[in-house]
Chains A and B, each alone.
Chain A
Amino acid sequence: MNAVRPALLSTGMLLIVLALRTLARSRHPPSASGAAGASGQPLARIAGVALWHAARLARRTGMCRHRTDATDLWTRLAVAPRCWPARFVTTAARGRAVSLNLVDAEPGLSGARDGACLPRGGRRAPNLVDLLCGVRLCSAFALGLLGAACWPLLGPPASAALATISAAAGTVLPDLALNRAARSAARSASRDVATAVDVLAAATVAGLGLRAALDLAAAHAPPPVAAALRASAVRLATGADPQAALATEANRFCLPALSDAGAAVDRQRRLGTALGAELRGIATRLRAEQRVQTLERAARRGPLGTLVVALVIAPVCLAALTACLVGGLVESGGLPIH
């Protein structure tokens, strides 16, 4: 009887979980790839609603707001769209009214009235900065709760202190993750920019305009490079000089290869040189540099791995084997220990 009860309970739980999963799946049919959309999952919807309300609270009270949010948040989100704070921001923004006006985060810098150009219902809608503040607030709340949950183990004063420290850490955690992901993406961007320049060259050689070529290259580039190419295309669409547009975005996203591409565009305009050949040359040079860097990194890191094997793995294995041998001798009485 004792064994039947847990078995029945576990079977019932399993059936309930399966039923809930089936309900969720039938309500939101999967995409062509077979994976359900993020907004279709109940957990994602709940998280989205919670983050949305947290963002509105942060907007009203001004909590968890940093001075530099309005200036570099776009860049960080564009460069690292797959890190968890960016995903939470996307989850909160999906299907809801979001203000695209970032400048109103800094009232002193804004020339326009808040919400002047917003769609219906967007007057009090949070913007991306508010959504990130909401993520910070939720993270602080979750970590604070985790710290407070240690009350039975640590007692009231210690758990209160732990909850406070955890909540404070929770406000910083999303920024740390976002900055780390942005740095990592910027490092990997230099590896992937050569293919983007190749696609740009193919598109210009085939006769596409620079803006269309930038759009095509952005569609097949990793997020950091794609963000820079899209931003350049937007600058071109607003009538900016191509070289200046590419150079500005190259500086902003730390992609010097785009400056070279801008210079090639400028040379084509002034001197009539073949843009495709110049861009291919740039891509070839980038690949050669990348190859040298990869081999240098491999040559530098190989000995480090050897050090780990020689200093940690081999001694620990040897010690474990020796301990087994000595233990066997002691157990059989061959090595008397008093």
Chain B
Amino acid sequence: MTAVRPQQLAVAAMLAAVVLGGRELVRARRAGAGASRESPAPTSSFPRRIVSAIACRYDSSSMGRRLAATLWFAQIDLTPTRWRCLQLALALPVATWLIAFGMGTVAAALAGISTTRTGGRLVLRLLRSRARDALDTAAPQLARALATELAAWGSGAQAIAGALRRCTSAPALARSLELAAARVALGGDASTSLHRALAQVEPRLTPTSPAVVVAAVFALYRHDAAATAASLDHLAAALEAERSARRDAAAAVGEVRMSAIAVPVIAAATGALLLSSDQAALAAALSFPLLPMLAAAVVMVVLAAVAARRLATP
């Protein structure tokens, strides 16, 4: 009987994590946004009941609620417990890999957990900023939809309902409009409902964000609906013109920005191919005179690439 190698263990753990994570994601998607956020249903099995009680306890704790809010802003339909389980499932193969490379057990576990925590935070931040960008991109569409209803002498509630029907491109915007419509249906003020709903869906939206500016102009409809409709139309055209100018400028410098990344990547790929096919070159690259030179070259190329991209930022 042959002993199990740490590398095999790591591969097995990685596969298990991928299978479990995929299963969890598929389940969450099937369950839908509303159902997945509910606490797990009580089951007859005693261990499952204990697990679900612990999960409910964590979900309702302050840490769990904070994480639930973060997941909501990033538009991830997972409960905090499931998110943590996913992180743990990913931390396991990382820790196993580190143990396989000779790290101590405790240190590897800590490193694995902190790596997945940091990675999770970065993913959440990325998704959140993407949602924010999508919201800003959809701002002209929102302004036009609101203006169309207001120009037809519709009320604020009708304008929000019309925008809800038309603006389906950005999920964050659709959520905001749903919240605004719900506020109005519950008797809230229609003029401020959109502004509040946007702040609720994405609290990090700045007051200068196009979606917030559109909401602020929409709030003026209570003074003069027709004039506000014209202002919203003008604002939509202005926002589209600004975006078009930005795109033109980005297209003008896109080639340079691309080459600042493509040239080092092609060179790195060529170098990797060379070093993997030539053992002597690899040994030379890892020896004293060449190693510091290569390190300095890498640093210089990275700095130059960053500088070139910054220079070519319109």
Contact = CB atoms under 8 A, between A and B. Distances in A.
Interface in B177-224: 203-204, 207-208, 212-213, 216-217, 220-221, 223-224
Nearest to B281: A328
A294 B220 contact: no
A287 B242 contact: yes
A321 B271 contact: yes
Interface of B: 62, 66, 69-70, 73, 104-107, 110, 203-204, 207-208, 212-213, 216-217, 220-221, 223-224, 227-228, 230-232, 234-235, 238, 241-242, 245-246, 248-250, 252-253, 255-257, 259-260, 263-264, 267, 270-271, 274-275, 278, 280-285, 287, 289-290, 293-294, 297-298, 300-301, 304-305, 307-309, 311-314
B231 A216 contact: no
Interface stretch (A41-49, A145-153, A202-210): A202-210
A324 B281 contact: yes
A317 B250 CA distance: 26
B300 A312 contact: yes
B252 A305 contact: no
Contacts of A158: none
B234 A280 contact: yes
Contacts of B208: 192, 195, 220-222
Interface string A179-203: 0000000000000101100110111
B191 to A, nearest CB: 11
B267 A11 contact: no
Interface string A221-233: 1100000000000
Given A32-B203, A206-B220, A323 B304 contact: no
A290 B264 CA distance: 34
A1 to B, nearest CB: 12
Contacts of A290: 242, 245
Q: Shortest 10 CB-CB distances between A and B: which pairs?
A: A328-B281, A327-B284, A317-B267, A33-B203, A202-B231, A305-B312, A305-B256, A7-B106, A332-B280, A206-B220
Given A199-B217, A216-B216, A283-B238, A323 B293 contact: yes
B151 to A, nearest CB: 14
A297 B106 contact: no
Contact of B216 (A199, A298, A321, A323): A199
A205 B249 contact: no
Given A309-B259, A324-B285, A7 B104 contact: yes
28 contacts: A7-B104, A10-B107, A205-B224, A206-B220, A219-B216, A220-B207, A283-B238, A284-B238, A295-B248, A295-B252, A298-B312, A301-B253, A303-B256, A305-B257, A309-B259, A309-B263, A309-B308, A312-B304, A313-B305, A313-B308, A314-B263, A317-B267, A321-B270, A324-B285, A324-B294, A327-B284, A328-B281, A331-B287
A295 B223 contact: no
A144 interface: no
